[in-house]
Structure 1
Amino acid sequence: MGVARPGEGFPGVGWWLEDPERWETLRFEAAHDEEDVPFDRRWRDRGEVLDALVAVPGPVDHAFARFLLEQEILFHDHAWGFNYGAEIAALLVAEHQRPEDVWILWEAIGTSFDTWCGLPHDLLLAGGGKASAIAYVAASDHDARDGLLEHLRESEEMTGEEAAAFVAARREYYAKVYLGGQ
């Protein structure tokens, strides 16, 4: 599996992180082709940024990672299929190990049948492992609380350290793919 590397003239990672107003050029833009197939006008540019971000040591800026995942959620809600960019964006969020990110990760996983099958559900445990995730969600009044709690209780046991190692291994995999090592 190979991925397209950013072309000449593609701004480096630092350029994107300097000014959040630049992120707007990566915002999801719904469209349909001549055969009425849905797509995102910005998926290619966002994919280049995600490829570049996964290749640099992390974690990357949390707000930027969340923005990118939000755009991937919108993209996958609009179109069918699964693009690896959704997993990279989810990994960039998950590597921060923040319990509150369980909600956006749950939204990403549940966006469509394809994201349900394509995104690793262990990402939900990135904020400290299974017990920690269950405790955090149980204490919440979030609308998705009950469904997420049921799902978490059915998940395999995983400590915070194991969850962090899982996220790091998936990130390393994509970095190697991007750099042409696999």
Structure 2
Amino acid sequence: MIDLDRLRTDFANTTLDEADREDVLRLLLSQRRDDDADLLRHLLAEETAAHREGWGVSEAMLLAALLLAECGREEDVWTLWEAKNASFDTMAGLDGFLLFPAGIAGTTAHVIASEDHPERVDLMTYMSEYLEYEKLTDDDIRDHIANLRSYHEG
């Protein structure tokens, strides 16, 4: 049995296998709090590492990316970008709209301001091409995230 309250305070010292991570993420789908961003970053990093070694995109990876994007923090774009780049399958399987956790303007401004980040140019290029191709607005991004949440809750 997963003790979510304990995990929230001691996730760095708790070993979770893939099934445990998915169980935690399912709990967080209905019980996420504003202060869960650190835990979600950790879970997404664990999923990213696992996906560098395998094929496909797990339910846990999709949930971790969704829940972290829902936190709405611009700095999480880097963790989400790393997850998207874990493999060919994650690049195709994680939706690009998740790369705008603080909306288009807020996230883009953060990436532009991150002049020393080694992935800045690649992410800016991807974001620009994605926005041009998809013609997304902040409302579109919110709708996509709401639809993805509904899918996972269903």
Shift, 1:60, TM fit: 6.1
| Contact residue 7 and residue 14 of structure 2 kept, 8 A | no
Q: Residues of 2 paired with 1:105 and 1:143: CA distance?
A: 15
Aligned to 1:158: 136
Q: How well do the aligned residues superpose, as a CA RMSD in angstroms?
A: 2.0
Shift, 1:78, TM fit: 1.8
Structure 2 residue runs of 5 or longer lacking an equivalent are none
Shift, 1:169, TM fit: 2.4
Aligned to 2:4: 13
- The answer as to 2:101 corresponding to 1:135 is no
Aligned to 2:67: 92
Aligned to 2:97: 122
Q: How many residues align?
A: 150
| Contact residue 74 and residue 110 of structure 2 kept, 8 A | yes
Q: Structure 2 counterpart of 1:171, which letter?
A: R
| Contact residue 82 and residue 118 of structure 1 kept, 8 A | yes
The 1:21/1:102 distance shift into structure 2, 3 A limit, reads closer
| Contact residue 126 and residue 164 of structure 1 kept, 8 A | no
Percent identical among aligned pairs is: 35
Cα deviation code 1:86-111 (max 9, x no counterpart):
11001111001111111111110011
Using CA pairs below 8 Å that are at least 6 residues apart, which structure has the higher relative contact order? 1
| Contact residue 72 and residue 85 of structure 1 kept, 8 A | yes
| Contact residue 127 and residue 160 of structure 1 kept, 8 A | no
Structure 1 residue runs of 5 or longer lacking an equivalent are 1-9, 27-41, 177-182
Aligned to 1:170: 148
Q: Structure 1 counterpart of 2:15, which letter?
A: T
Name whichever of 158-167 and 134-143 sits farther off.
Answer: 158-167
Shift, 1:136, TM fit: 2.1
Q: Which has the larger radius of gyration?
A: 1
| Contact residue 126 and residue 160 of structure 1 kept, 8 A | no
Partner of 2:135, secondary structure, is coil
Question: So what's the TM-score if we normalise by structure 2?
Answer: 0.86
| Contact residue 59 and residue 92 of structure 1 kept, 8 A | no
- The answer as to 2:14 corresponding to 1:24 is yes
Q: Structure 2 counterpart of 1:172, which letter?
A: S
| Contact residue 60 and residue 92 of structure 1 kept, 8 A | no
